[in-house]
Chains A and B, each alone.
Chain A
Amino acid sequence: MNPLPLVTAELRRNALGCAAIVALIALDVALGVAVTAQERALREASARAADRFDLVVGAPGSPTQLVLTTVYLQPAALELLPAGTLAQLAQEPGVAAIAPVAVTDSYRGYTIVGTTAEFAAAGGITDGRAFAQEHEAIVGSAVQLPLGTMLRPAHGSPAENMIETHEHDFVVAVVGRAQATGTPWDRAIMIPIEAVWAMHDDVHGHGAEGGPSTPARLDTRSPERGLERVPAIVVKPRSMTDAYQLRGKYRGHDTVAVFPAEVLVPLYALLGDVRELIAGMALAFQALLIAAVVLVIVAALAARRQSIGVLRALGAPPSFVFLTVWLQGALLIACGVLAGAVLGWALARGIGAWASARTGLSIDAAPGAAEAWLLLALFVGGSLSATLPSLATLRVSADRLLRLA
């Protein structure tokens, strides 16, 4: 038995209609695949970005905001930690390393982060060297500034909705470029935390304290070294036990300590919910499409009852007729699903590249098992649905089909 010549001939005859069905299925599958792949890629990329932020200590407030600002450099008005927290943390036996992080200024759309040379250059320096003094800076791998650039940080964030911007009378020179990390830090200019203190000492009071338009108020009035105030401190604990102890100890009246995962997990849940919602809509749409395909098959069957009758009259076994009809539907669905998979992953990569460019997160949407299962389920569901109308062909006798001609 070989129904393929007949199947391909029939499909070729209706090439335009078939192409339309395949395109519809492909577009729909692409949407489902892109959403699934993209959500996973975003989740993985954001988790990767949080890797080196074991524990983040900030002033009491929103832990989500603390993590978003510190890890993803999203500007926000963070409260400052009490003076001395930095020094106190440095003394903790369970602490391997600490780094203050202050996101306060910007330059030509790049976020300027005040931190330590060790933290800024943790991934390595590809070009030049790490900063050694207040008037030096290193840039992330994605910052389009040549070494040697002299820049004047502006107070305020790169986001355009910040009303107040103000150029500091403070110049830093770019002396090095950090290794790419695939995180928003690739799009940041990193300066010594001391430079932040120095700048904001100069212009103390330029943003009314507590004013909502000031992204990060740095009250650096404490002149004594070690008592300067910072909005956030990244802590690298010596061990897991230390991590939990530190988290407990610094979770109090004056400070809050969070593992980024504490914030990310609920965010992922939300992201997952959104994914479920979109994927659910895509699935509902897919169900509709498959119903439409089945309808098309039924309609085509009605138009081809004559052909089916002829096949039966010529002695074709019902199984041959069934296969001929079923294969036409199944092939269309298979083509649509495959084309949709390719299109969906391409779409996910495109969105990933776009989102990477905007956030600095290296979002790499790769084919995953979830989509493979989705595709398999679609194909099986679709071709099973195509079976039902085809089964009807088995039940009609040849002379009746011929008579209907």
Chain B
Amino acid sequence: MSDPLRSLWGVFYPAGLSLRVVDLRVAYSDRGRVARTVLDIPAFEVAGAMQVALCGPSGSGKTTLLNLLAGLQRPQRGTVHWSGVELTALGQGALDRWRRETVGLVFQQFHLFPGLSALANVLLPLRFTQWSIEARWKRRALDLLERVGVSAHANLQTLSRGEMQRVAVARALLRAPPIVLADEPTASLDLDTGRLIAGLLCTLCRESGATLIVATHDVALADSLDASYEIVDCRLRPRLARRADVEAVVA
């Protein structure tokens, strides 16, 4: 927390937000017939600035849970609160705005825009609301790219997969969001690169004080975080209680 960025950006953004999920339930209807329950989480809490892993086999609902936490998807039942903000109560516009300003997203497939340079990709989320980019944001983006070690004017086509994920991490952290959600950030990378990216993501989030929730298969990554949970039979349970300060309670 001694990082200068933290103190600088902490002025605008509070430290990592805390999560409280209540009675969450998601079911998908199969061609309008039988509803298949995907998630059923009576309660789940994560304290601010914690780094938490969500594990579970493919199709267990990790991505769905991340979508719910990011406000990308609305549950059929239950509520998602981030430090008092109830996502399920926000309208679409307010939800978009909340996500834009509060959440940094990292995807398995990076989801960068190949026509744009590394710098333009990092700055893209600002274009949603700004006509021209203020100098301070540009500086911030350049700093981040320097931190992740990618040339700002690099052409996306010339980057390796690891480098692309670095750019994606820089994009997610541009606004120093109090929440960072990462969906399998290392799954499409080789082992060493994955380690590097995971370390980078954790370090940067630690520095900015963001709450980090990572859906991952990567046991090493899960073990390196403050807490890890797994989804089994639609329920969330601790994978391994690792630290005393885990404040999440799983019913």
**Residues on A facing B (Cβ under 8 Å):** 1-3, 5-6, 8-10, 12-13, 306-307, 310-318, 320, 397-399, 402, 405
Contact = CB atoms under 8 A, between A and B. Distances in A.
Q: In the complex, which of the residues B97, B111, B129, B132 has the most CB atoms of chain A within 10 Å of its own CB atom?
A: B111
Contact of B67 (A2, A6, A399): A399
Contacts of B12: none
14 contacts: A1-B128, A1-B131, A2-B131, A5-B127, A10-B115, A313-B72, A314-B99, A314-B171, A315-B99, A316-B96, A317-B97, A317-B129, A398-B72, A399-B67
Given A13-B115, A315-B96, A6 B127 contact: yes
Contacts of B120: 5, 9
Contact of A310 (B67, B107, B130, B132): B107
A314 B124 contact: yes
Given A13-B114, A307-B111, A316-B96, 16 more contacts: A1-B129, A2-B130, A2-B131, A5-B127, A6-B113, A6-B116, A12-B115, A313-B105, A315-B99, A315-B100, A315-B101, A315-B125, A316-B125, A317-B96, A402-B72, A402-B107
Contact of A2 (B73, B92, B103, B132): B132
B125 A307 contact: no
A397 B93 contact: no
Contacts of A3: 127
A307 B107 CA distance: 12
Contacts of B113: 6, 9-10, 307
Contact of A316 (B92, B111, B128): B128
A9 B156 CA distance: 12
A395 to B, nearest CB: 11
Given A1-B128, A2-B130, A314-B125, A9 B99 contact: no
B141 interface: no
Interface string B26-43: 000000000000000000
A397 B100 CA distance: 15
Contacts of A5: 116, 120, 124, 127
B109 A405 contact: yes
Interface string B116-151: 100010001101111110000000000000000000
Nearest to B97: A315
B111 A315 contact: no
A398 B100 CA distance: 13
A314 B174 CA distance: 12
B70 interface: yes
A1 B100 CA distance: 13
B115 A9 contact: yes
B116 A314 contact: no
Contacts of B130: 1-2
Nearest to B120: A5
A317 B73 contact: no
Given A5-B116, A399-B72, A317 B109 contact: no
A323 to B, nearest CB: 10
Nearest to B116: A9
A402 B181 CA distance: 15
Contacts of B111: 306-307, 310, 313, 405
Among all A-B residue pairs, the 9 with the closest Cβ atoms: A315-B100, A9-B115, A310-B111, A399-B72, A399-B73, A399-B67, A13-B115, A316-B128, A315-B99
Contacts of A311: 128
A20 to B, nearest CB: 18
A320 B126 CA distance: 11
Nearest to A321: B128
Contacts of B92: 318
Interface string B155-181: 000000000000000010000000000
A311 B116 CA distance: 14
Contacts of A2: 127, 130-132
Contacts of B109: 405
Contacts of B129: 1, 317
B144 to A, nearest CB: 15
B141 to A, nearest CB: 13
Contacts of B97: 315, 317
Contacts of A312: 72, 96
- Please indicate which of the listed interface residues B67, B70, B100, B131 has the most CB atoms of chain A within 10 Å of its own CB: B67
Contact of B72 (A12, A306, A307, A397): A397
Contacts of B114: 9, 13
A391 B72 CA distance: 19
Among A12, A306, A315, residue most surrounded by chain B Cβ atoms (within 10 Å): A315
A9 B109 CA distance: 20
Nearest to A5: B120
Nearest to B125: A314
B96 A1 contact: no
B128 A314 contact: yes
A8 B120 CA distance: 12
B72 A315 contact: no
A313 B127 contact: no
B70 A313 contact: yes
B88 to A, nearest CB: 14
Contacts of A405: 109, 111
A314 B105 CA distance: 7
Nearest to A3: B127
